[in-house]
Chains A and B, each alone.
Chain A
Amino acid sequence: MTRKVLDVTRLATVTTIVLLLFAGSSRVSASDPPSPASAQITIDNFTFGPQELTIPVGTTVTWTNRDDIPHTVVSTDGVFKSKVRDTDETFSFTFAKPGSYSYYCSVHPRMTGKVIVH
């Protein structure tokens, strides 16, 4: 029981510190990009754009298919694999580790792209 009270106290302390940290940073408003960072890749005319994207660790990348034909987003090394994405459907993946990630559309394998994480 005592231990539980202590835990609650500790949690309150951590929460206060986190809140103070946020208060110390710039003002937070609804229009600010979500944290952690995000990035977009679109599929138009059987092409990933941008074909090569460089992002910091922790970024979530969202692919959007804007073609009339379904595509997939599949890591060449098996790191990520989307289900088939029809028109306007999206796929997101958060890159937690640095590295170079090649990917392609498994339906149209001539379509290739790369995400560089550092």
Chain B
Amino acid sequence: MTDKAQDNDPLLRNPSGDGIDRRGFLQCMAWAGTGLVWTMSGGIPVSRALARNFNRESVRADFSFVQISDSHMGFNKAANPDVAATFQAAVGKINGLAETPDFILHTGDISHLSRPEQFDNVDQILKSASAKDVFFVPGEHDVLDDNGGLYLERYGKNALGAGWYSFDKRGVHFIGLVNVLNLKAGGFGCLGAEQLEWLEKDVKHLQHSTPIVLFAHIPLWSVYPEWGWGTQDSAQALTYLKKFGSVTVLNGHIHQTMQKVEGNVTFHTAMSTAFPQPQPGKATSPGPMQVPAEQLRSLLGITAVNYSEGHHSLAVVDSALG
């Protein structure tokens, strides 16, 4: 098959031009164990799998930040009896990055049981990180029993409502959302009317060319409804972001990397620093997945995100702890 034939093959080239063709999709799925770079060019995201020895120069950025997720401090079962050690290793990984990241995003499940000593332990370990600013959103494990009271007291001082907020960094608009409260029987993650109303107002005044980074705990796309891996009103949130050329959505919750491109929106989930979870439908439940001890750190990790203003690009690179 010639290149030209491939270009005309609707299976290989999606004529809708939304970037999700078979070739691109397979490239997305080929990242495993290697890392992935997303580049945003003219609003069209392009993905390519990275070799293990990929050239850092290719993602040199104006500024960078790191996403960590699902530290589950306090978890002590067989899937990882020492989550403090692996969280410390994640911080070590951050400190080993070629360029010190400007800040860290923690996309929730900081603690396993919302206990003060578990939050304390995470805060203590984060003090040794090269990046001093950490922005949090809560996971469902951080708001147990008290409807998020302790979480808000510790991490939500500058937040609104149940803990949502936004901030600007070198022309990029960051939005932290909360989708783990007031969950309804039989339902999914939920943003709620009040937060959606705030989001609409928050982005209304922004120019279309402003790159947007949206982060929340539970995926803001339907990853696997059978396991509740989705947010019931995320589609409404995304309608407010349609006008923007570059939207990057960063989530945790599912303890594995997964990505999807939909129009100008790139969805990405991060690994946990605590324990892996099975691939959708590959186990009887989404509970912690036990792997041989020597494999554990290959399934835990961090996500580095680089932004190059001049090139209008945003690159997302996952790397495992070991």
Contacts and interface: CB of A to CB of B under 8 A. Distances in A.
A68 B290 CA distance: 11
B256 to A, nearest CB: 16
A68 B113 CA distance: 12
Contacts of A68: 75, 77-79, 287-288
A90 B285 CA distance: 20
A75 to B, nearest CB: 9
Contacts of A106: 183
A72 B77 CA distance: 19
B278 to A, nearest CB: 11
Interface of B (DSSP majority class): loop
Interface in A59-79: 67-70, 72, 76
A69 B288 contact: yes
Given A87-B77, A109-B188, A110-B227, A69 B144 contact: no
Contacts, number: 57
B286 A46 contact: yes
Interface residues of B, number: 25
B113 A109 contact: no
A69 B187 contact: no
Contact of A109 (B186, B284, B286): B186
Interface residues of A, number: 22
Contact of A70 (B141, B185, B186, B188): B141
Nearest to B190: A109
B24 interface: no
Contact of B185 (A46, A67, A102): A102
A109 B187 CA distance: 6
A1 B114 CA distance: 57
Interface in B219-233: 226-228
B217 interface: no
Contact of A110 (B75, B77, B228): B228
Nearest to A87: B77
A109 B227 CA distance: 10
21 contacts: A46-B285, A46-B287, A47-B285, A67-B287, A68-B75, A68-B77, A68-B79, A68-B287, A69-B288, A70-B112, A70-B113, A72-B144, A83-B145, A84-B145, A86-B113, A107-B140, A108-B140, A109-B184, A109-B187, A109-B188, A110-B227
B65 to A, nearest CB: 29
A112 B185 CA distance: 7
A15 interface: no
A40 interface: no
Question: Can you list the 9 inter-chain pairs with the closest CB atoms, starting with the nearest?
Answer: A45-B285, A104-B185, A110-B228, A46-B285, A84-B144, A109-B183, A68-B77, A45-B284, A109-B187
A102 B78 CA distance: 33
Nearest to A113: B185
Nearest to B277: A69
Contacts of B140: 107-108
Contacts of A69: 287-288
A80 to B, nearest CB: 13
A81 to B, nearest CB: 10
Contacts of A72: 144
Contacts of A109: 183-188, 228
B80 to A, nearest CB: 10
A63 to B, nearest CB: 15
Nearest to B227: A110
Nearest to B283: A45
Contacts of B287: 45-46, 67-69
A86 to B, nearest CB: 6
Residue in B79, B112, B144, B284 with the greatest tally of chain A CB atoms within 10 Å: B144
A76 B185 contact: yes
